[in-house]
């Protein structure tokens, strides 16, 4: 067969998308017998399997001509209206997206040009970095920890630069688990308002709080202050099902209109049946469902922290999350999380090395552990194996 030099045929944007070494490594986590703390995969025991089977059948039977037809790009109106009611906005300000991941890509399309500055926390969500990178922006980063981004560092950056937007995950950040305290949210908003800047608030984990961690979102604070510059993203992935791919963006009408136009060219609309199913599922015992989810993750986080406290050697630091799905770990300086990954996979346990979460590089000694997927016993055993791998690596160092 004739050969083609595919790489010379792809466009600039496509050439920026690179195979991630991490994704290659993560393929190893699929091996049978591996206990994985790697993917942020919601607990399968929380999926509403029975209710979904029942409701999907009813939707197809009673409203099949809507469910199986093309739908509006903005989304299935009753679902938009339900979300609007939940968040106290108007339905026109809500755009249904095919996962928040799609919203991130649409935001890149709408706001970013080549070399335009975009500000992220370091570390930040790898999927957002990947989505934005395709548009060739210049990443500006500020260090972030358990209390969110370093606001003094952020202030310094904003003196020099005017990012097209700031991408922030204020509640139970992926990967760090960080939660920006209320006072810091207020200060952050002041800075944003002063600069007339746009913030993308990715709030995928907000409902997964364990104690009193449900703080007002930047979006809510901005509305109270009469400021239109916060684009709010959330998703049904962590509170119903990630496989349905139903999420939403909420923003000022002009921003929603532009995002809707961008979405038209991508997939016309999010699958109508999935939107109708989500709408049907949230009608019944939704608050109780959220309580069950919180209780489940609270118990899993506790199991992981107890195991870490028991097993981890000196010099390893890790966060104590107040919500969300992740523990963020720092190995002693000079120790590589990728090297640990190789040791760990030999012990049949996996996690995500932290490096790729840093858009500007660094973080080689960090890693993310997700407690969302395994049960308490799997978590305890996984941590035992991880500690064994780490002790092995420390003995070599």
Ligand X SMILES: Cc1ncc(COP(=O)(O)O)c(C=O)c1O
* Helix 182-195 × helix 151-160 angle, to 10°: 0
Shortest reach from residue 66's CB to ligand X, in Å: 23
Shortest reach from residue 100's CB to ligand X, in Å: 4
- Distance, CA of 340 to CA of 337 (rounded, Å): 5
- Beta strand 317-318 with 326-330 is antiparallel
User: Per-residue x/- marks for ligand X, 216-235, CB under 6 A?
Assistant: -------------------x
User: Per-residue x/- marks for ligand X, 186-205, CB under 6 A?
Assistant: ----------------x-x-
Q: What is the CA radius of gyration of the chain?
A: 21
| C-beta closer to ligand X: residue 148 or 242 | 242
User: Per-residue x/- marks for ligand X, 275-314, CB under 6 A?
Assistant: ----------------------------------------
Residue choice 71, 163, 177, 242 for contact with ligand X (CB under 6 A)? 242
Residue choice 29, 174, 222, 319 for contact with ligand X (CB under 6 A)? 174
Shortest reach from residue 98's CB to ligand X, in Å: 8
- Distance, CA of 223 to CA of 229 (rounded, Å): 9
Q: Which residues contact 185 (CB under 8 A, 6 or more apart)?
A: 170, 215, 216, 218, 221
Category of 150 on φ-ψ map: left (φ > 0), alpha (ψ -120 to 50) or beta: beta
Q: Is 99 in the site for ligand X (CB under 6 A)?
A: yes
For 237, other C-beta atoms within 10 Å of its C-beta total 20
Residue choice 73, 237, 366, 370 for contact with ligand X (CB under 6 A)? 237
| C-beta closer to ligand X: residue 127 or 213 | 127
Residue choice 100, 171, 260, 274 for contact with ligand X (CB under 6 A)? 100
Shortest reach from residue 285's CB to ligand X, in Å: 22
* Coil vs helix vs strand at 372: coil
| C-beta closer to ligand X: residue 40 or 229 | 40
Give how far Cα 228 sits from Cα of 105, 119, 157, 166, 170, Å. Answer: 21, 19, 22, 14, 18
- Distance, CA of 235 to CA of 249 (rounded, Å): 9
Q: Is 247 in the site for ligand X (CB under 6 A)?
A: yes
- Interaction site with ligand X (CB under 6 A): 40, 99-101, 125, 127, 169, 174, 202, 204, 235, 237, 242, 247
């Amino acid at each position: 067969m004739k050969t083609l030099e595919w790489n010379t045929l792809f466009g600039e944007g496509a050439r920026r998308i690179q195979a991630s070494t991490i994704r290659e490594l993560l393929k190893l986590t699929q091996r049978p017998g591996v206990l994985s703390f790697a993917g942020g995969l919601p607990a399968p025991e929380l999926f509403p399997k029975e209710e979904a089977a029942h409701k999907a059948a009813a939707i197809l039977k009673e409203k099949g001509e809507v469910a199986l037809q093309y739908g509006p790009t903005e989304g299935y109106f009753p679902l938009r209206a339900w979300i609007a009611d939940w968040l106290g906005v108007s339905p026109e300000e809500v755009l249904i997206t095919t996962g928040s991941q799609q919203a991130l890509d649409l935001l890149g399309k709408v706001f970013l040009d080549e070399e335009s500055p975009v500000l992220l926390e370091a570390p930040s969500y790898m999927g957002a970095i990947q989505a934005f990178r395709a548009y060739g922006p210049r990443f500006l980063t500020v260090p972030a920890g358990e209390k969110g981004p370093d606001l003094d560092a952020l202030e310094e950056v904003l003196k020099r630069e005017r990012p097209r937007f700031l991408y922030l995950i204020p509640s139970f950040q992926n990967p760090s688990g960080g939660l920006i305290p209320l006072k810091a949210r207020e200060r952050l908003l002041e800075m944003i308002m002063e600069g007339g800047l746009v913030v993308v608030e990715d709030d995928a984990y907000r409902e997964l709080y364990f104690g009193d961690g449900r703080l007002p979102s930047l979006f809510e604070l901005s509305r109270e202050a009469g400021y239109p510059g916060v684009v709010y993203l959330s998703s049904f992935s962590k509170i119903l099902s990630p496989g349905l791919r139903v999420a939403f963006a909420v923003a000022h009408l002009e921003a929603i209109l532009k995002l809707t136009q961008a979405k038209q060219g991508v997939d016309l609309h999010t699958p109508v049946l999935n939107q109708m199913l989500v709408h049907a599922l949230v009608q019944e015992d939704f608050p109780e469902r959220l309580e069950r989810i919180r209780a489940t993750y609270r118990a899993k986080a506790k199991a992981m922290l107890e195991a870490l406290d028991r097993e981890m050697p000196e010099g390893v630091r890790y966060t104590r999350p107040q919500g969300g799905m992740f523990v963020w770990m720092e190995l002693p300086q000079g120790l590589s999380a990728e090297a640990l990954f190789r040791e760990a996979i030999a012990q049949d346990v996996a996690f995500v090395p932290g490096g790729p979460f840093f858009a500007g590089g660094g973080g080689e000694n960090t890693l993310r552990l997700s407690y969302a997927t395994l049960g308490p016993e799997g978590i305890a055993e996984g941590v035992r194996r991880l500690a064994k791998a780490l002790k092995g690596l420390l003995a070599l160092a």
